[in-house]
Amino acid sequence: MWSWISVGLATGAPFLAKYFSTTTTSMISKTPVYFFSHGGPTFMYRDQGEPGAYDAVQKLGDEIVNLKPKAIVVVSAHWQERTISVTSDANNSLIYDFYGFPDFMYHEKFPTKGSPELANHIVQMLKDKGLKAETVQKRGIDHGVWVPFRVAFGSETKLKDTPLIQVSLPYNESPAYSIELGRALAKLREENIIIIGSGMTVHNLRDMHLAGLYGPPLPYAKSFDKALELAVTTHTGKERETAMEKLFERADRIKAHPTAEHLLPIYVSAGAAYEDIGTLIYTRQISSLGWGIYKFTS
């Protein structure tokens, strides 16, 4: 048996590699789409956040670095605008949009560059799909981006030379509109650009104060995180769109997300992935939080 395997490795693998490399070049290849749960700002320190989610995001970061993307486009829970806004600075500054943490956290760095050309290209793509969009300058990237990205790419940024662009969420909380935004961005996947949504799969801060930072999961955290997993991982295309719109109407959604901004980024990811299936990479429910992390790929 071992000799058959070694023969297979010696002769079959190069043949297969050649076969696949010649066939895939004629097909349109699309980058995967991701969704990260980002927790709070202490997520950047492995043992002060959620170590399991930290390790999962770090592993996906290595995977993304290996894909050598042309750019990364991210939508975070912490930026909603009436006109979809796209960062367009040559270098990204950081927004320390968190309060009451130790002083040194407001000096943490995560150096990345942007791309005014790509920002203009994205705005044009969105306008072509009938969405209102504009570039903005000097906004910077918020902690919903740089905290999990520091975990994924390291504090010295393995993707220093890869432009990073943040796109705002729409202001309105319609799931259909966030899916539409994702669909309008989807073409970037054919340009070797990676799209990432950053939020939480369950996010109720009021209950977290009552149930304890590391308390056992509240019933809705478990039920909603599971329902989200089913909607994302068992359907694609229009069926998933419908399933995710129904998910939004569930009674436990209002408890899991009293406001929808942490949930909507996964609707953007699902819209960008559209016909590609979602896979659950990691989740855990703690107190009133859900830490689901997903990858969408064909």
Ligand X SMILES: *[C@@H]1O[C@H](CO)[C@@H](O)[C@H](O)[C@H]1NC(C)=O
Count of Cβ atoms closer than 10 Å to residue 35 Cβ: 28
Copy the structure tokens of residue 160: 């220093």
- Please say whether the beta carbons of 148 and 36 come within 8 A: yes
Q: Which is nearer to ligand X, 115 or 287 (CB)?
A: 115
Number of Cα atoms under 13 Å in the Cβ half of residue 58: 13
* 138 lines the binding site for ligand X (CB under 6 A): no
Pick from 143, 131, 152: nearest CA to 85: 131
Smallest gap, in angstroms, from Cβ of residue 92 to ligand X? 9
Copy the structure tokens of residue 298: 């064909």
Smallest gap, in angstroms, from Cβ of residue 131 to ligand X? 28
Element (H, E) at 185: helix 175-185
Smallest gap, in angstroms, from Cβ of residue 72 to ligand X? 17
- Beta pairing partners, 107: none
- Please say whether the beta carbons of 166 and 141 come within 8 A: yes
Smallest gap, in angstroms, from Cβ of residue 91 to ligand X? 4
> Residue from 28, 91, 100, 161 that binds ligand X (CB under 6 A)?
91
Q: Say how many residues touch ligand X, by CB under 6 A.
A: 2
Looking only at residues 237 through 296 of this chain, which bind ligand X when binding is defined by CB under 6 A? none
CA-CA distance, 142 to 145, in Å (whole number)?
A: 6
> Residue from 7, 17, 67, 90 that binds ligand X (CB under 6 A)?
90
Give Cα 34 distance to the centre of its chain: 4
Copy the structure tokens of residue 171: 């202001």
Q: Which is nearer to ligand X, 66 or 91 (CB)?
A: 91
Q: Which is nearer to ligand X, 157 or 287 (CB)?
A: 157
Q: Which is nearer to ligand X, 5 or 90 (CB)?
A: 90
Smallest gap, in angstroms, from Cβ of residue 113 to ligand X? 6
Q: Which residue's structure tokens are 């910077």?
A: 140
Q: Which is nearer to ligand X, 23 or 91 (CB)?
A: 91
Q: Which is nearer to ligand X, 37 or 157 (CB)?
A: 157
Smallest gap, in angstroms, from Cβ of residue 193 to ligand X? 20
Torsion on CA atoms 45, 263, 298, 70, rounded to nearest 10: -60
Smallest gap, in angstroms, from Cβ of residue 111 to ligand X? 7
User: Residue numbers of the site for ligand X (CB under 6 A)?
Assistant: 90-91
